[in-house]
A and B are shown apart, each in its own frame.
Chain A
Amino acid sequence: MISIPEKVINEIKNYRNKVSDYEKGNLDGFRFKPYRVSMGIYEQRDLETYMVRTRIPSGIITLAQLKKISELADKYGNGYIHFTTRQDIQFHGITLKNTVHILEELLEVGIITRGTGGNTPRNVTCSPLSGVSKDEVFDVTEYAAKTTSHFLKDPTALNLPRKYKIAFSNSPADTGYATVADLGFIAKIKDNQKGFEVYGAGGLGGSPTTGLKLEDFIPANEILYYAQAMKEMFENEGDRTNKHKARIRFIRYRLGDDEFIKRYKEYVKKVKEERDLHLNIDETIKDSHITNEDTLEIKNNLIIEQKNKGFYSVYIQPDKGNLTTGNLNKLIKFIDDLSYEVSLRVANTQGIFVRDLKAKDAEKLLKVIEEFTYGFDIDNSIACAGAATCKLGLCLSQNLLSAIKQKFKTVEPKIKSQLPRIFISGCSNSCGQHQIGKIGLAGKAKRTENGLIPMYTIHFGGNLESNNAVLGEAYGDIPAKKVPKFLYELAKLKEQSGYNTFIEFLKKEGNSIEGLIEKFANIETVKEETDLYYDFGSEERFSLKGRGPGECSAGVLDVIKLDLSNAETELQEYDKSKESIKLYNSSLSAARALLILKGVDTTKDRIIFKEFIKHFVETGYVKSNIEEYLGNLIDYKIGDLESLDDYYDNARYLVQRVRDMYDSLSPKLEITLEKESDKNKNPVEEDKKEVEISKTIDLRGVKCPINFVKAKIEMSKITSGEEIGFLLDDGEPIDNVPRSLEGEGHQILDIDTNYEGYNLLTVKKK
C-alpha cells in the first residue's frame, strides 16, 4: 500500500557497506551508531547482539511478508518475533552481520526498517480494525499509508529534533491513540464529507499530556498539509539542545496552548501556499461490503464481529507480545489453507489481528491459537521490557505480568472478567503506556529502613477518546509483590459492587478502592516479609545496580529526595534537642543521597562516607575539610568522640551543599553546580558566578573540519567568559576540535570522554 522510494532502497543496500566499514575499523562506532539506529537497529543489553525493528506501515502486512519474517526469525534470530505497541514487529538477539541479511531479505518482500529508530516520523499508527470495525466512521487506513509515503520521500525528515509520532483513528473511541500522539487524526463526517478532527502535542513519557485539539474538522484529503506543517514547526521550534525536552509537546509547554495553536495554523497556511499536497482519495461514503449468511454467537473476547455481516476478526496476543516461529507457522498454515483471502493487521497492543474470517473459520482459528492466547482482557495486558533488558527500567515489569496471569489462572471467570487490560511500565517512562490504561502500573523504587523495595504506582481511569481523553491518575503506591493479590481483591470488589463498566465502578466506589490501596500499601520490615525486598523472578535483593541514570529518572529522584528530606529533618531536630546523634544521622543521609547516581546503594555507614569522599569531595564538588568531618563522624559513632556540637557548621554546610547539588541536576542527572575547587582556584571568577554553560551543541556525526566550523559559529554567538559544551565524535573530532579552539585563544575547561558514552568538550570563550 505504501511505495518505497528508490533512495530508501539504496540506503538499505548501502547498510552492508557501513557495517563492513565499521567492522574493518574504517567507520567509528560513534558515527556508525546514529546510522544504525536510523535503520531501526538497536544494541541490546547483552553486548554484540542487536534488535531489528521493522516498519509495518500502520500494521498492514501481507501473508507473504509474515512468512518471510517467520523464516528470518528462524534463520537469524532466536526463534520468535515480538509485536510492539506501535504496530511494528521486532527481531531480537541478532548478530551485527545478520542485521545486514535481515535488512536485505526484508526488502525482497517490501519491508523496510528505516525510520523505526532515530529522530524521524515513526510508524504512523492506525486503528487496527479500520475498515472492518462496526463502530467506525470510515476506513482511515489509506490516509495513514499516504502519510507514511509522504515522509518516506522526504530526506530531511530524518533529522528532526526528536521522534515524531502520528496516529489515525477510525472512530471517536480513538483506538489508534490519536489523542496522545504528536499529531493525531480522528475520523469524522461533516455535511456528508469525510474529514478528521486534529489533535497534537500530546504524548506519554516525561511530562505526559493528552493532545490539544487543533482543528475540529478538516477535509480528509488535506491531511498532508497538517502533517507537513507539524513537521516544519517541529524542525524550526523544537529544542535540539536537550533531547529530554525535545518532543513537540515541550514546544507547547513553552509557548502556551493558544500561541501553539496560532503558530501551528500559520505553518499550515504557509505549507498550503507553498506546496500542493492534496490527496486524491475517493471521498464518497459507501458501504458495499460482501456479507455472509453464516454467523456465530460471540462467546470469546478474541473474536470481534465486523461491520460486514458474517465476517469476523480474531485477535492474537501471545505472552508478552512474543510469538514463537512454531506458533507463527501454525497461524500461517491456517491462513494458507483458507480458500479465500483474509487481511492481517499488526495491533498496537503487542498482538495481531486476522480479519475477514468467515464464522466457521474464526472458530477454527481460535482452536489453532488456543495454546498461546488468552480470552480475558487481563491476560492480554501490556508490559514494557522492564529492568530485565532495559537500562532505564527499575522493576521487572514483564515478570509482574506473568505473576498477575499466574494469580488469575485459577480465578473463576466471573471475577477474572471484571478487570480491563492492564498497562505496565517498569519505570515512570511510559513504554508500557501506563497512563492510557483504565488500570496502569508504573514501577518505582522506595527506600525503607531495611533497604530498597520495588513498588508500583497504581494509576486508574486512563481513557482515550475524541474530545474527552484523560490520562490515568495516580492513586497510591503498592509493593510490587503485593500487586497480583491487590488486583484480585480489586476484581472481587468490582464484582460485588455490581457496576458494569470499570470507569463507573471507579467513580462510585472511590472510597472502598482507596481503602484497598491503603491496606496494600503497608510495608512490612524485612523480617516480617522478606519477599517484599525482592522483585519478581529475581534472587537478588532489589537494588538499582546496573541501572544507569537515564531518562527514567523519576524513581531515582524519589530516593534522593527521601534521603535529603531525612537529612534536613534531622538537622532541624538537632536544633531543638541538641542531640549529637541527630547531626550524625543528618550527615549520613546527606552523604548517601546522591550516591545512587554513582551506582552506589548501601546502608553501611563507613562505605557511604568513603564513597561520598571519592565521588564528591575528591572531585571538588564539596569542600575538602568535609573529609575530615566525616572522619569525626566515625569517631563519634565508635565512641571516640563524645559530642558533635563543635561540628554543627560542617553538618549544616553538608546538607545545604547536597541540596544545592540536587537542585542543580540537569535532565541528564549531571550536577551542574560550580565545583568548590574551581571557586578556590579562580577567586577572580567569584563575581562571574552567573556564568555557566549556556548550552550544549551536538556535533556528533559532523565531520572535520565542518565540526570546527560549526563550533566557531557557536562561539561567535556567546560573549566573552561564557561557557559552552560540544558533543564530539571519537577520533579526529575529539583530537582536533579542542586543539583548534585552544589555538584561537579560547580556554578548554574540560574534555569528558565518558559523558553518557560520548565526548563532551567544555570551552570558555576568550
Chain B
Amino acid sequence: MNFNDQQIERYSRHIILSEVGAEGQEKLLNSKVLVIGTGGLGAPAAMFLAAAGIGTIGLVDGDVVELSNLQRQIIHQTKDVGKPKVLSGKETINEMNPDVNVITYNTWVDSSNILDIIKDQDYDFIIDGTDNFAAKFLINDACVLAKKPFSHAGIIQFSGQLTTYIPDNNTPCYRCIFKEPPPQGAVPTCSEAGVLGVMGGVVGTLQATEAIKYILGIGESLAGYLLTYDALEMEFRKIEIKHNKKCGVCGEEPYIKELIDHEKPACSL
C-alpha cells in the first residue's frame, strides 16, 4: 500500500508503534467494523475507530438525535437535533477523517435484519453499543451464529461492563454468562436509568480498543473475562468467565438455532 503524505502524517503516531507499523495501519485501513447503536457507547467507539483509520465503519441506529442525548453521545452536535443519528454520525466522521467510508443503516436491529446487516459488508468486528437487553441478546446470538467477533458492553449510572467474544476459541458468549434477559421488574425504571456521561466514553473507548487490537492481532483480548468498572469507587475488576456447556446458543446442545426477538421492556412509568 502506498500512503500519501497526509496519511503518513495523520497515522504517524500509529506507524511509529512497533506493534502497528505501516503493515498494521494498512490492516486498519482495509478493515470493516460495524457499530450497532450510535448512543452513549457507540458514539465514542465510532469516533475513535474513525480516527484510527478503520477503512469502513457501519453505523446502525433507527433513532433521531435528541437534546438529551448530547450529554454523552459526543458524535452528535446541537445542530443535529432531529436528524437521524446515523446521518449525524456519518457527517462527523467524514469531517474528521476522509479516509473512512461510512455505511449507514437507519433502522433498529431485529431478528429479521441483523444477519443481513452483518453480512452486508462482511464486517470484521462488531461493537454492541445498544442500550437494551433484547438487542444485546440478539447481537450476541447473531454474532455467535454468524461466527463474528464482537464486543459487548453496558453502562448504567456509575458502572459499566464489557467482554469480547471471539468465535472458534471456546470463548464464553454473553448468553453463557447471562442466560436470558432479566425479568421485567428487574430492569431499572426510567428514574433509575440515569448515567454519568463519561461512562460511555470510558467503556465505548475500551470497546474500540478491543476492535483495533483484534484487527491488528496484538495483545490479549477480554475474551474469557468480564471487565467491570465502578466510577464512584474508581475500581476496575477483571473477572474470569468460563464457556457454559449448557449455553442456549453456543453450548453443546444449543436450542437457539434461529434468531429470536426478546420482548423489549417498556418504561413502566
Contact = CB atoms under 8 A, between A and B. Distances in A.
A713 B18 contact: no
B12 to A, nearest CB: 4
Given A715-B22, A716-B21, A716-B23, A710 B16 contact: no
A709 interface: yes
Contacts of A710: 8
A740 B21 CA distance: 12
Interface residues of A, number: 13
A238 to B, nearest CB: 16
A705 B8 CA distance: 11
Contacts of A740: 16
What's the interface size class on B, roughly? 10 to 19
Interface string B5-46: 000110110011010011100100000000000000000000
Nearest to A716: B22
A282 B264 CA distance: 75
A710 B21 CA distance: 10
Contacts of A713: 3, 8, 15, 22
A11 interface: no
A743 B8 contact: no
Interface string A706-741: 101110110111000000000000000000000010
B18 A709 contact: no
A766 to B, nearest CB: 11
A706 B22 contact: no
Nearest to B14: A709
A71 interface: no
A191 to B, nearest CB: 44
A217 B265 CA distance: 77
A187 B8 CA distance: 44
A705 B16 contact: yes
B8 A706 contact: yes
Contacts of B21: 712, 716, 744
B12 A709 contact: yes
B48 to A, nearest CB: 20
Nearest to B11: A709
A709 B3 CA distance: 11
Contact of B18 (A706, A717, A744): A744
Interface secondary structure of A, over-half rule:
helix
A706 B23 contact: no
A312 B23 CA distance: 68
Contact of A743 (B9, B11, B18): B18
Contacts of B8: 706, 709-710, 713
Contacts of B12: 705-706, 709
Nearest to B15: A709
Contacts of B18: 743-744
A429 to B, nearest CB: 32
A706 B3 contact: no
Contacts of B26: 716
A708 B16 CA distance: 7
A335 to B, nearest CB: 49
Nearest to B9: A706
Contacts of B3: 713
Contacts of B16: 705, 708-709, 712, 740
Contacts of A717: 22
A715 B15 CA distance: 12
Interface string B215-234: 00000000000000000000
A704 to B, nearest CB: 10
A743 B18 CA distance: 9
A743 B17 CA distance: 11
B65 to A, nearest CB: 37
Contacts of A716: 21-23, 26
- Residue of B3, B11, B16, B26 with most chain A CB atoms under a 10 A cut-off: B16
A743 B22 CA distance: 15
A647 B21 CA distance: 54
A508 to B, nearest CB: 58
Interface string A726-766: 00000000000000100110000000000000000000000
Contacts of B11: 709
- Residue of B8, B18, B22 with most chain A CB atoms under a 10 A cut-off: B22
A709 B15 CA distance: 6
Contacts of A709: 8-9, 11-12, 15-16
- Residue of A706, A710, A712, A715 with most chain B CB atoms under a 10 A cut-off: A712
A280 B23 CA distance: 50
- Residue of A713, A715, A717, A740 with most chain B CB atoms under a 10 A cut-off: A713
Interface in B50-104: none
A713 B21 CA distance: 8
Interface string B173-205: 000000000000000000000000000000000
Contacts of A744: 18, 21
Contacts of A706: 8-9, 12
Interface in A165-207: none
A712 B22 contact: yes
B20 to A, nearest CB: 9
B44 to A, nearest CB: 26
A186 B26 CA distance: 48
A281 B111 CA distance: 68
A706 B13 CA distance: 9
Nearest to B12: A709
Contacts of A708: 16
Nearest to A705: B16
Nearest to B23: A716
A640 to B, nearest CB: 61
A709 B10 CA distance: 11
A346 B144 CA distance: 79
A706 B22 CA distance: 12
A708 B14 CA distance: 12
A449 B16 CA distance: 59
A314 B49 CA distance: 71
B11 to A, nearest CB: 8
B52 to A, nearest CB: 15
Nearest to B24: A716
B64 to A, nearest CB: 39
B153 to A, nearest CB: 32
Contacts of B9: 706, 709
Contacts of B22: 712-713, 715-717
Nearest to B21: A712
A738 to B, nearest CB: 15
Nearest to A745: B18
A740 to B, nearest CB: 8
A26 to B, nearest CB: 23
A740 B23 CA distance: 17
A732 to B, nearest CB: 14
A97 to B, nearest CB: 34
A159 to B, nearest CB: 10
B216 to A, nearest CB: 14
B63 to A, nearest CB: 40
Contacts of B23: 716
Interface string A200-233: 0000000000000000000000000000000000
A110 B145 CA distance: 74
Contacts of B15: 709, 712-713
A717 B21 CA distance: 12
B107 to A, nearest CB: 38
Interface in A683-720: 705-706, 708-710, 712-713, 715-717
A105 to B, nearest CB: 35
Given A713-B8, A744-B18, 10 more contacts: A705-B12, A708-B16, A709-B8, A709-B9, A709-B16, A712-B16, A712-B21, A712-B22, A713-B3, A716-B22
9 contacts: A706-B9, A708-B16, A709-B9, A709-B15, A713-B8, A713-B15, A715-B22, A717-B22, A744-B21
Interface of B: 3, 8-9, 11-12, 15-16, 18, 21-23, 26
Interface of A: 705-706, 708-710, 712-713, 715-717, 740, 743-744
Q: Which 7 A-B pairs have the closest CB atoms?
A: A716-B22, A713-B22, A709-B12, A709-B15, A744-B18, A716-B23, A712-B22
